[in-house]
Structure 1
């Protein structure tokens, strides 16, 4: 174990994980399950109680978690869960097809790349695109997301995107035309421009009938031909479907455990 490992902290988390499997525990029951000295367990429980994560019924000698433990998961959002599910799938696909994949989730009026397999690809254009913020109205991944998100979300997001436009009605009509084209062909593409010589092919990752993220393949601009799109599109669609199915089952299992 590295020198940075703090045993007391690790033990505290072990106690919390164990206590999460039942509603109430006695000190003796925790001692039997964890094989820690009762004095050590008592100090851990007292500390967790002082911090508000554990409560004690003195009369019965039982310990239980408090609602405050839910705060420990507040920073782990559905978007983070999507990335966690998608990452191993994207890595496997990149190792099979060699092309780099990126997973993007919406944040406010843009799409942020939460995971990229460029480090795993021998034909990557960049080292990585993780953290890159993409426009929803001009990037392939942004348009793929916007074309298949719920109508209510799309309306709100389009208002955000065009909030500072000189002529919002004209900008909105142009974007609606782009979206209609993407929906018709079933995918979005960004061809190279003066700003970037790379190109991206993207499709949505949907749950039900609405997009929850987007997945794209970025390559050198001159390689993004019709034949390249036809060759890569099946793998990209299969990847999106696999991520969606994995997220659905993982999310469903979490709900079942919570109930």
Structure 2
């Protein structure tokens, strides 16, 4: 474990410096020179660092980037969302989800279901939800640009995840957009579960909508309007904080 920790420290230091010799890396990391030489030799044999032929200093190789290829911008954004959702839980004890559009569905990326006392579903991350029949799907469509919205609808039609034809969808989208503009939020009753209602807001990036965040509640507990009156201010503030954090961190997926 110690060797792994030191090896990662060297990679981080080299990433920050761009190029460095063993003595410089030893100084930056606090690792003794003998160990630094040994670790660099190991990292070089594994293909993660190499010596520059021009000056003999160590530089990172493309293999280091390959390590991060499985981490998408959506994954990075989800980490920020997760932190804010857990803070929101202190104000809204009903479950909340963060979902993104994927192949005609809304896919849940983060959730507070496992911590909410009112959740009837626990393992939610990765579950798919309907695009047109759920608050989260409607929020994403309402928050998208016209071109992006049409793209999502075309993908959903291609995958068979929404019914009807383009003319029917145009009429339905006009109704949904007008309702969102009037209310300031998307909503659904019994979209994924007849017992559950939801309100949702889109999460915007610098160039397009990233996903949506909802608040779920029992249909018998309150109306959509009551839920919006109670929880929309907190939900709106959370979305605004997330968007600002993503902007500051340069996560603009």
Asked if Structure 1 and Structure 2 have the same fold, meaning a TM-score greater than 0.5 normalized by the shorter chain, the answer is yes
Q: Which whole-Å deviations, capped at 9, do the CAs of 1:100-141 have from their partners, x for residues lacking one?
A: 221112222111111111223223332242222112111110
Moved more, 232-241 or 62-71: 62-71
Q: Which whole-Å deviations, capped at 9, do the CAs of 1:39-60 have from their partners, x for residues lacking one?
A: 3322321222233321213674
**TM-score between both structures, scaled by the size of structure 1:** 0.85
Say which of 108, 114, 118 aligns to 2:103: 108
Aligned partner of 1:186 in structure 2 is 184
Q: After TM superposition, list the pairs within 5 Å mapping 1:32-181 onto structure 2.
A: 32-57=27-52, 60-163=55-158, 164=160, 167-180=164-177, 181=179
Deviation at 1:17, TM superposition (A): 0.6
- Cα 1:41–1:209 shift into 2, 3 Å: closer
Instruction: Tell me which of the two structures has the higher relative contact order, counting C-alpha pairs closer than 8 angstroms and 6 or more residues apart.
Output: 2
Preserved CA contact (<8 Å) 1:111 1:141: yes
Moved more, 162-171 or 125-134: 162-171
Q: Which runs of 5 or more structure 1 residues have no equivalent in the other structure? A: 1-5, 255-259
Preserved CA contact (<8 Å) 1:117 1:128: no
What is the distance in 2 between the residues matched to 1:232 and 1:188? Answer: 13
- Cα 1:194–1:30 shift into 2, 3 Å: closer
- Matched residue of 1:124: which SS? coil
Q: Which runs of 5 or more structure 2 residues have no equivalent in the other structure? A: none
What is the distance in 2 between the residues matched to 1:197 and 1:246? Answer: 34
Deviation at 1:174, TM superposition (A): 4.5
Preserved CA contact (<8 Å) 1:95 1:121: no
Preserved CA contact (<8 Å) 2:206 2:247: no
User: Where in structure 1 do 4 or more consecutive aligned residues deviate above 6 Å?
Assistant: none
What is the distance in 1 between the residues matched to 2:173 and 2:131? Answer: 12
Preserved CA contact (<8 Å) 1:207 1:244: yes
Aligned residues: 248
- Report the RMSD for the aligned CA atoms in angstroms: 2.4
Aligned partner of 2:234 in structure 1 is 235
**TM-score between both structures, scaled by the size of structure 2:** 0.87
